[in-house]
């Protein structure tokens, strides 16, 4: 698909900037209408979304319908149900005179013109969920889908103008090289989903204009399995997190620390569940999600080739159609190629480590986006929470903390800044503006501030 020209970028940006300045996006009616239309856009195009994800990633509808269609629709419904509460003025808690007689309040102002840039692994969700936040906040938006999911990108380009207000919400297509032009422009907020490396570029490009950013980045999320865990259940859930989307999930399990005393049992259970998820089709099940492109296939292939660990399950791969079997690699050391970068694929390195060793390794590296502890011991859970940091934590499962309602989803340090979901996403696109009105009669109290200064006034 051809990318938007500079003239098209200029035209789109001028349009949404003028629209924001004309205040049409501020009334709740406009926001509610766009949110409803977003819901209908997803409803009317659900089969096409499923097909696009199948074309881009060979994703099965059992994965795409609940996440990439219903999941976004739920975010729409949540925004529609909460928008009155999110947008209404709030009062500061204190009871001092400015708060009380000055009627101090905090207004929720839209930041203005926003740019939303998304990754390819959930190309609809990562674009539309932030867009829902931007609409709810009253911002205008330029959407930049990922070029690496071209069927999804094409559908987004086609759908959005048919459903949403074109004077306020536009789609721009661009590859990495064209991003410079887009990022030189002045934005009021940039919401970026993607890698930590590109996140740093976005942050640097936003700095000269003091543009605020939300950075939803990657990370090497570990799972720690201790002897107190339900081993079979831990394996079932970790295998699921690696199988889904072929492990191309920002909150996936990157590697597993497992206590040596339970390792063999754990690996046997993992293998059993991978077999189950593949329905015994050890080579290439028709429905398995593929690696997104040649570059990522070669990257994973080379990381696996260079690993000193031993493949104990899977390892089959087909460069032609980018099928990569879920692959367990045992005996991985911390210096291994498989731990040199975020895997973002179906390889599961297993490291021998007790809880203390797992924590010690984890805290010496960037804070991950997600951290998973598999343990039945409250003391072990407390220890993990006390000694580590990460965007979010799920105990005894993976991924699910990102589905908690009204809770922030985001990273910390190298895994990102800012958060979304529910009111937290609304807040990212909102400026909190404090307003106070000072009545004349408050001079009774305020008069002490005026010069000429005197010790008597200072003591008052």
x-or-dash string of contact with ligand NAD, 76-115, rule CB under 6 A = ----------------------------------------
Q: Is 201 in the site for ligand NAD (CB under 6 A)?
A: yes
Q: Rounded to the nearest whole angstrom, what is the least distance from the CB of residue 49 to ligand NAD in the complex?
A: 17
Q: How many residues bind ligand NAD (CB under 6 A)?
A: 26
Q: Rounded to the nearest whole angstrom, what is the least distance from the CB of residue 199 to ligand NAD in the complex?
A: 7
Reply yes or no on whether 216 is catalytic.
Answer: yes
Q: Which of 47, 26, 32, 27 is nearest to 132 (CA)?
A: 32
State which of residues 78, 216, 366, 428 lies at the interface with ligand NAD (CB under 6 A): 216
Q: Is 394 in the site for ligand NAD (CB under 6 A)?
A: no
187 contacts 209 by C-beta, under 8 angstroms: yes
Q: Is 195 in the site for ligand NAD (CB under 6 A)?
A: yes
374 contacts 368 by C-beta, under 8 angstroms: no
Q: Rounded to the nearest whole angstrom, what is the least distance from the CB of residue 252 to ligand NAD in the complex?
A: 8
Q: Is 150 in the site for ligand NAD (CB under 6 A)?
A: no
Q: Rounded to the nearest whole angstrom, what is the least distance from the CB of residue 276 to ligand NAD in the complex?
A: 27
- Where in 253-292 is the site for ligand NAD (CB under 6 A)? none
User: What is the rounded distance in angstroms from the CA atom of residue 17 to the CA atom of residue 174?
Assistant: 20
- Cα 278 to the chain's mean position, in Å? 28
Q: Is 221 in the site for ligand NAD (CB under 6 A)?
A: no
Q: Which is nearer to ligand NAD, 57 or 104 (CB)?
A: 57
Q: Is 417 in the site for ligand NAD (CB under 6 A)?
A: no
Name the closest residue to ligand NAD (Cβ). Answer: 218
190 contacts 211 by C-beta, under 8 angstroms: yes
Q: Is 147 in the site for ligand NAD (CB under 6 A)?
A: yes
Q: Rounded to the nearest whole angstrom, what is the least distance from the CB of residue 293 to ligand NAD in the complex?
A: 9
> The dihedral of CA 123, 129, 132, 133: what is its sign?
negative
User: What is the rounded distance in angstroms from the CA atom of residue 254 to the CA atom of residue 202?
Assistant: 25
User: What is the rounded distance in angstroms from the CA atom of residue 460 to the CA atom of residue 447?
Assistant: 10
Cis status of the peptide bond prior to 452, with omega within 30 of 0: yes
**Which three-class secondary structure state does DSSP give residue 22?**
coil
Q: What per-residue string of b and e applies to 279-296 under the rule 16 or more CB within 10 Å gives b?
A: eeeeebeebbbbbbeeeb
Of 78, 129, 216, 428, catalytic: 216
- Where in 296-355 is the site for ligand NAD (CB under 6 A)? 342, 344
Q: Rounded to the nearest whole angstrom, what is the least distance from the CB of residue 114 to ligand NAD in the complex?
A: 15
User: What is the rounded distance in angstroms from the CA atom of residue 71 to the CA atom of residue 76?
Assistant: 9
The DSSP 8-state label assigned to residue 291 in this structure reads P
Q: Which of 133, 137, 144, 138 is nearest to 170 (CA)?
A: 144
Angle between helices 28-44 and 46-57 (to 10 degrees): 60
Q: Rounded to the nearest whole angstrom, what is the least distance from the CB of residue 191 to ligand NAD in the complex?
A: 10
Q: Rounded to the nearest whole angstrom, what is the least distance from the CB of residue 262 to ligand NAD in the complex?
A: 29
Q: Is 217 in the site for ligand NAD (CB under 6 A)?
A: yes
Of 76, 133, 139, 250, catalytic: 250
- Cα 165 to the chain's mean position, in Å? 25
Reply yes or no on whether 250 is catalytic.
Answer: yes
State which of residues 16, 67, 116, 117 lies at the interface with ligand NAD (CB under 6 A): 117
Please report the DSSP string for 431-449 in residue order. Answer: EEEEE----GGGHHHHGGG
Q: Which is nearer to ligand NAD, 337 or 377 (CB)?
A: 337
Q: Which is nearer to ligand NAD, 309 or 411 (CB)?
A: 411
State which of residues 13, 49, 119, 168 lies at the interface with ligand NAD (CB under 6 A): 119
Please report the DSSP string for 57-95 in residue order. Answer: H---HHHHIIIIIIHHHHHHHHHHHHHHHHHS-B--S--
Q: Is 121 in the site for ligand NAD (CB under 6 A)?
A: yes
173 contacts 157 by C-beta, under 8 angstroms: yes
Two structure tokens written together for 255:
């590697």
Q: Is 368 in the site for ligand NAD (CB under 6 A)?
A: no
State which of residues 71, 138, 218, 345 lies at the interface with ligand NAD (CB under 6 A): 218
**Which residues lie near ligand NAD (CB under 6 A)?**
117-121, 126, 144, 146-148, 176, 179, 193-195, 198, 201, 216-218, 250, 342, 344, 369, 411, 416
Active site residues: 216, 250
């Amino acid at each position: 698909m051809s990318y938007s020209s500079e003239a098209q970028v200029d035209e789109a940006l001028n349009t949404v900037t003028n629209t924001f300045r004309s205040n049409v996006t501020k009334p709740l009616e406009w926001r509610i209408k766009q949110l409803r239309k977003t819901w209908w856009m997803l409803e009317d195009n659900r089969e096409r979304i499923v097909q696009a994800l199948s074309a881009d990633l060979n994703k099965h509808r059992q994965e795409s319908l609940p996440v990439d269609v219903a999941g976004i629709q739920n975010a729409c419904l949540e925004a529609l149900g909460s928008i009155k509460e999110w947008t209404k003025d709030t009062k500061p808690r204190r009871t001092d005179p400015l708060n009380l007689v000055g009627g101090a309040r905090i207004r929720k102002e839209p930041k203005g013109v926003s740019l939303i840039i998304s990754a390819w692994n959930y190309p609809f969700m990562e674009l539309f969920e932030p867009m829902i936040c931007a609409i709810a906040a009253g911002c205008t938006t330029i959407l930049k889908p990922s070029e690496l999911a071209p069927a999804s990108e094409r559908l987004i380009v086609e759908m959005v103008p048919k459903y949403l207000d074109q004077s306020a919400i536009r789609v721009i297509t661009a590859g990495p090289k064209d991003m410079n032009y887009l990022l030189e422009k002045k934005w009021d907020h940039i919401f970026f989903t993607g890698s930590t490396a590109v996140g740093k570029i976005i942050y640097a490009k936003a700095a000269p204009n003091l543009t605020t950013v939300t950075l939803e980045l990657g990370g090497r999320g570990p799972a720690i399995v201790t002897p107190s865990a339900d081993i079979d259940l831990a394996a079932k859930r970790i295998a699921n997190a690696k199988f889904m989307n072929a492990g191309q999930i920002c909150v996936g399990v990157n590697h597993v620390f497992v206590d040596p005393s339970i390792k063999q049992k754990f690996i046997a259970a993992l293998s059993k569940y991978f077999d189950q998820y593949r329905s015994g089709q050890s080579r290439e099940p028709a429905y398995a999600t593929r690696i997104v492109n040649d570059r990522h296939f070669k990257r994973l292939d080379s990381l696996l080739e260079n690993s000193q660990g031993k493949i104990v399950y899977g390892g089959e791969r087909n460069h032609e159609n980018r099928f990569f079997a879920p692959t367990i690699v045992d005996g991985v050391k911390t210096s291994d190629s498989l731990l040199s970068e975020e895997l973002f694929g179906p390889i599961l390195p297993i490291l021998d480590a007790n809880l203390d060793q797992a924590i010690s390794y984890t805290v010496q590296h960037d804070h991950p986006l997600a951290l998973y502890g598999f343990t039945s011991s409250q003391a072990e859970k407390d220890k993990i929470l006390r000694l580590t940091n990460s965007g979010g934590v799920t105990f005894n499962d993976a991924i699910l903390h990102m589905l908690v309602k009204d809770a922030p989803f985001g990273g910390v340090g190298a895994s990102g800044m800012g958060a979304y979901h529910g009111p937290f996403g609304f807040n990212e696109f909102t400026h909190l503006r404090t307003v106070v009105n000072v009545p004349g009669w408050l001079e009774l109290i305020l008069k002490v501030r005026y010069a000429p200064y005197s010790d008597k006034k200072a003591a008052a």
